[in-house]
Amino acid sequence: MRRVIKLFFLSIAVLISGCSYFKEPKNPPAALVEFKEVMAIKKAWSANVGESGNFIFNPVYVENTVLTAATNGNIFRFDNSTGSQIWKTDVGMILTAGVGADNTSLAVVGDKGVVLVYDLNGKLRWKVQASSEILSSPVIGDGLVVVRSIDNHIVAYDALTGKRKWAIERTLPTLILRSALGMTIFEHNIYVGLPGGKLIAINLASGSVRWEATVGEPKGATELERVADVSGLPVVVGNDICASAYQGKVSCFDVKTGLLRWGKSLSTEMGVSADERFVFAVDDKGGINAFSRSAGLSEWKNNKLAFRRLSAPISFGRSVAVGDFNGYIHFLSREDGTFLARTSTDGSPILATPVIAGTNVIFQTKQGEIIALAID
């Protein structure tokens, strides 16, 4: 989604870049507004892990450590309390996605769809060739490593041996975004966002599809107008699973049945964040939106970061935090959307989905700074 526009055929599907991070924006980004900071943010630690290039590397939090990777092939593990590097390993090839991890294993993806799985000490367990390139981070749970390739194959491997356990193939729409569609594991199921606006729940043990729901419905006269791919990571909070779609909606469903709780029209490329009260989403014009999780009512909207190419939002304490194309991280009140604080990184775009790590929130920039921030 964040690559220079490139058209090519994969089976019958055409993949297009869906975002403007690497081309001249049509609308100038809003200037930063001045405000009185009312929440003190401190840098707990930071490090440089290497550039992400044209890919996205999402940090993950496991066992009070942070794991992440870079396109140059390096994987890192940091102590979340101190920021000290526990280990670093070079996989020996270009990486295109990662990291996926649980408390026993981690997975990354190499060029042309090579899946590599390590133990948490950085020792390679196995590697396998997937059916095509992979842009989405693998996910690990219930002893399985699950990957989704851009030809819409979803495959589960045994985390210890690499043996394939099950596979699902879904039909691709004619035109899709070249994007890192997310997957989330929750209570023995995996929830997968798909091109065409679908969200499916798959039983991890059997690979059977439990339910399918519609997040974005393709509409319009042209194939481009009909692109409605699910964006970012599906998020589970309580009995809800919430997701969003490009040129589609922000929607929440019953996590067990897939029945729609509510949906609101909103186009986003970045995905959603949710907590016990709110669902947050950044729209395609840079507006930050907060909806009530119970009914989908609009609680507030902040347009003052328009066209600053914001990251996915994340709920953090009494704030919701987002990064922008200049490496700034903005903290807004989760109650009314007013600015609380702002801090800077290395000045490069923040593309990765931020993650909560204990009392820290972790951001990773395109140039490779990984930074842990805490409320002072």
Find out whether 243 and 230 touch, Cβ atoms under 8 Å.
yes
Q: Is the peptide bond before 117 cis (omega within 30 degrees of 0)?
A: no
- Residue 130 predicted with pLDDT over 50: yes
- Tell me the average pLDDT across 256-275: 94
- pLDDT above 70 covers what percent of the chain? 88
- Residue 72 predicted with pLDDT over 90: yes
- Residue 4 predicted with pLDDT over 50: no
Computed over every residue of the chain, the mean pLDDT equals 90
Summarised one tens digit per residue, pLDDT across range 215-259 is 987 676 666 655 667 788 999 999 999 999 888 889 999 999 999
| Domains, in order of start, for the chain | 8-375 (2.130.10.10)
Instruction: Identify the pLDDT of residue 230.
Output: 77
Instruction: Identify the pLDDT of residue 220.
Output: 65
DSSP string, 145-166: EEEE-TTSEEEEEETTT--EEE
Instruction: Identify the pLDDT of residue 195.
Output: 83
pTM here is 0.91
